[in-house]
Amino acid sequence: MGDFAKSKALMNDLEKRYSNHSVVQSYWLPSIRAQIALQKNDTAAALNELQTAAPLDTLYPQVMFYSHMPSVVLRAEAYSRSGQFALAAVEWSKVLDNPGIVQLSATAPMARLQLARSYVSQAALGDSSARAKARAAYKEFLALWQDADVGIHVLTEARSEYSKLQ
């Protein structure tokens, strides 16, 4: 699923070349390490790495005035994979609560779908309020995509998932 040796070599090179660069050291390298940990299904290591990046979640890395918020997305993914769906929902909500940061990114609409999925998982674990939250999040996602081309895989999946909640 990836060339971990090459990834690690590139990461080590970044670490050496930018040893005094606070954003690289505090945000990018922990995010890269977290992604590698997730590729190895080590959610605990990913979450540990992302603690360093957390203070910079909404500050960096803005490129041309927007960001994909990778540290938040990675943290949400790690929480989801480890069965901590309520915490995943908190992370997906961070994306939605910062529309100015993700304005030009695919992260924003996908965060709404992932939030709905987090709520579905919470409902399956017995959270009685999560089902209604999931329906609302799916409705918002589907409303955003109402004019999308037919047959887009993620949209087809979302419609199917939403119909199961009715």
What residues does 66 pair with on adjacent strands? 63
Write the DSSP symbol of residue 135.
Answer: H
Q: Is the peptide bond before 109 cis (omega within 30 degrees of 0)?
A: no
Show the CA angle centred on residue 12, arms to residues 8 and 14, nearest 5°: 115
Instruction: Give the model confidence (pLDDT) of 130-150 as tens digits.
Output: 999 999 999 999 999 999 998
Q: What are the chain's domains?
A: 4-163 (1.25.40.10)
Mean pLDDT (whole number) for 35-42: 94
- Can you tell me which residue has the tokens 């409705």? 139
- The conformation of residue 149, written as its DSSP 8-state character, comes to P
- pLDDT recorded at residue 147: 94
Instruction: Record the pTM.
Output: 0.90
Hey, what amino acid is at 95? V
| Digit-coded pLDDT (tens) for 89-116 | 999 999 999 888 887 788 888 999 999 9
Predicted confidence band at 71 (pLDDT cuts at 50, 70, 90)? very high
In the predicted model, what is the mean pLDDT of residues 24-36? 92
